[in-house]
């Protein structure tokens, strides 16, 4: 473990040294860390030996997702969502369910080893998007604000929405594959979600009310304020887990309540450190993905796996997006652009690690193999295509913008209201003065 930590730290430092030079290039952080993980892992140089059975990987996955869920929820301002509601609400309310349904339907004939609900598990694993894999798409101000914010908000919220859906699908898949009582399993699921939501909200409300009172009295030091969200996530996750609930639901619910009590601006500023640490853990997670999942997850690679991965990134994503944007007055090119830039990244990797560690499913190896292939293709395809396709779309937009409707409905972003994300993950952070 000691040398593993040295290797991971050295890779982080090496990327930091050249990060400015690589910014804006097709070589994204995800490509670098996945590639470094694979090169240093057991498949090539065999210097990093933490396999999928390592308890440390589970801790990493859970800590990463808990922080991401909390900061996603705590950084969202409903006012910004209302101003830019045309695209994100359609993508989340219509596009996300259709993506899961279509993903499951495509998996049934292509992957007969999976049961119906295991196919649903796979579809949910690959439903969340991660805009960090095509960072320029949500940070380039040449693009319409509704498009940028739509993709940004979608990627910020769909992982939180998919957490209870994932556990529900896993529970149903376990019932399908065993003699377990459906009522008992679903009862446990409802209990986990209910306890998670209740404990998360309760913890965050107590903490946020205390913080607000301290701020009014001038007792709160700014440096210590940055530690409050981190401690809140730890309490919400651990307490929920000890009480038999879902720690992930607890973390997400805590973020929602924390923002609601303190307000979006205060919550976002106080969560800067938590967001940066979440970004650091995200980078390490991509490294572990390259070192462990790619080599061990693609042992029995076949045409069906490759076909599903390609369909997941194209038809399964793009058709639901097109259907969800009917009536939004978006041009076909805008619909295609939004449909393509639905990268699979951090949330999908963490979900795969959760399945490896916790789910008792006969089809788990197939789910991991297909999910790994899909994320790997997404890291490469979306990272390499982000800059050229954005430039091409901007040229098309400049020639026709006066004749367009949705693309001309610009809403000036309020820096105090925008969702703030770590530059590693997905964000318009480059447009937020508070991050400079």
Residue 411 lies in a domain: yes
Report residue 99's pLDDT band, with 50, 70 and 90 as the boundaries.
Answer: very high
Read off the pLDDT of residues 61-98 as tens digits, 9 standing for 90 and up.
788 889 988 988 887 766 656 666 778 889 999 999 99
Which pLDDT score, from 0 to 100, does residue 435 have?
A: 35
Residue 111 lies in a domain: yes
Residue 230 lies in a domain: yes
Which pLDDT score, from 0 to 100, does residue 76 have?
A: 74
- Which of 185-199, 223-237, 261-275 has the largest mean confidence? 223-237
Report residue 355's pLDDT band, with 50, 70 and 90 as the boundaries.
Answer: confident
Q: What is the CATH number of the domain that holds 92?
A: 1.20.1530.20
Residue 430 lies in a domain: no
Residue 436 lies in a domain: no
Residue 432 lies in a domain: no
100-109, 287-296, 365-374, 419-428: least confident range: 419-428
Residue 172 lies in a domain: yes
Domain hosting 35: range is 2-425
Read off the pLDDT of residues 148-186 as tens digits, 9 standing for 90 and up.
888 888 888 888 899 889 988 988 888 877 655 566 667
Number of domains in the chain: 1
Q: What is the pTM of this model?
A: 0.86
Residue 433 lies in a domain: no
The 3 state secondary structure assigned to the chain is CHHHHHHHHHHHHHHHHHHHHHCCCCCCHHHHHHHHHHHHCCCCCCCCCCCCCCHHHHHHHHHHHHHHHHHHHHHCCHHHHHHCCHHHHHHHHHHHHHHHHHHHHHHHHHCCCCCHHHHHHHHHHCCCCCHHHHCHHHHCCCCCHHHHHHHHHHHHHHHHHHHHHHHHHHHHHHHHHCCCCHHHHHHHHHHHHHHHHHHHHHHHHHHHHHHHHHHHHCCCCHHHHCHHHHHHHHHHHHHHHHCCCCHHHHHHHHHHHHHHHHCHHHHHHHCHHHHHHHHHHHHHHHHHHHHHHHHHHCCCCCHHHHHHHHHHHCHHHHHHHHHHCCCCCCCHHHHHHHHHCCCCCHHHHHHHHHHHHHCCCCCHHHHHHHHHHHHHHHHHHHHHHHHHHHHHHHHHHHHHHHHCCHHHCCCCCCCCCCCCCCCCCCCCHHHCHHHC
């Amino acid at each position: 473990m000691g040398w593993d930590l040295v290797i991971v730290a050295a890779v982080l430092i090496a990327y930091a040294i050249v990060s400015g030079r690589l910014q804006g290039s097709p070589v994204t952080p995800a490509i670098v860390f996945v590639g470094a993980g694979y090169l240093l892992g057991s498949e090539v140089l065999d210097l990093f030996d933490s396999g999928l059975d390592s308890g440390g990987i589970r801790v990493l996955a859970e800590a990463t997702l808990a922080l991401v869920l909390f900061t996603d929820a705590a950084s969202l301002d409903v006012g910004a969502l209302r101003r830019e509601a045309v695209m994100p609400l359609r993508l989340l309310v219509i596009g996300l369910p259709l993506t899961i349904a279509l993903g499951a339907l495509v998996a049934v004939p292509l992957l007969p080893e999976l049961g119906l609900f295991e196919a649903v598990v796979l579809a949910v694993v690959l439903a969340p998007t991660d805009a960090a894999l095509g960072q320029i798409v949500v940070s380039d101000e040449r693009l319409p604000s509704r498009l940028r914010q739509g993709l940004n908000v979608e990627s910020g919220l769909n992982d939180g929405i998919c957490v209870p859906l994932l556990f529900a699908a896993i529970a149903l898949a376990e019932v399908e594959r065993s003699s377990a009582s459906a009522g008992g399993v679903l009862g446990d699921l409802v209990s986990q979600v209910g306890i998670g939501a209740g404990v998360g909200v309760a913890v965050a409300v107590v903490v946020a009310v205390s913080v607000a009172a301290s701020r009014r009295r001038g007792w709160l030091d700014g440096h210590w304020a940055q530690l409050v969200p981190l401690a809140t996530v730890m309490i919400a996750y651990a307490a929920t887990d000890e009480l038999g609930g879902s720690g992930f639901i607890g973390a997400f619910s805590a973020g929602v309540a924390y923002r609601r009590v303190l307000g979006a601006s205060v919550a976002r500023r106080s969560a800067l450190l938590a967001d940066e640490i979440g970004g650091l853990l995200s980078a390490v997670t991509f490294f572990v993905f390259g070192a462990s999942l790619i080599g061990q997850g693609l042992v029995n690679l076949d045409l069906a796996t490759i076909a599903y991965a390609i369909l997941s990134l194209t038809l399964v994503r793009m058709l639901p997006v097109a259907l969800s944007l009917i009536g939004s007055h978006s041009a076909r090119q805008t619909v295609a652009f939004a449909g393509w830039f639905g990268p699979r990244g951090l949330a999908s990797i963490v979900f795969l690690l959760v399945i490896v560690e916790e789910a008792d499913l006969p089809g788990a190896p197939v789910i991991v193999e297909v999910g790994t292939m899909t994320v790997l293709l997404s890291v490469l395809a979306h990272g390499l295509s982000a800059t050229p396709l954005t430039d091409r779309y901007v040229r098309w937009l400049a020639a026709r913008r006066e004749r367009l409707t949705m693309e001309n409905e610009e809403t000036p972003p309020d820096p105090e209201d925008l969702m703030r994300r770590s530059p590693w993950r997905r964000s318009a952070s480059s447009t937020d003065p508070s991050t400079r």
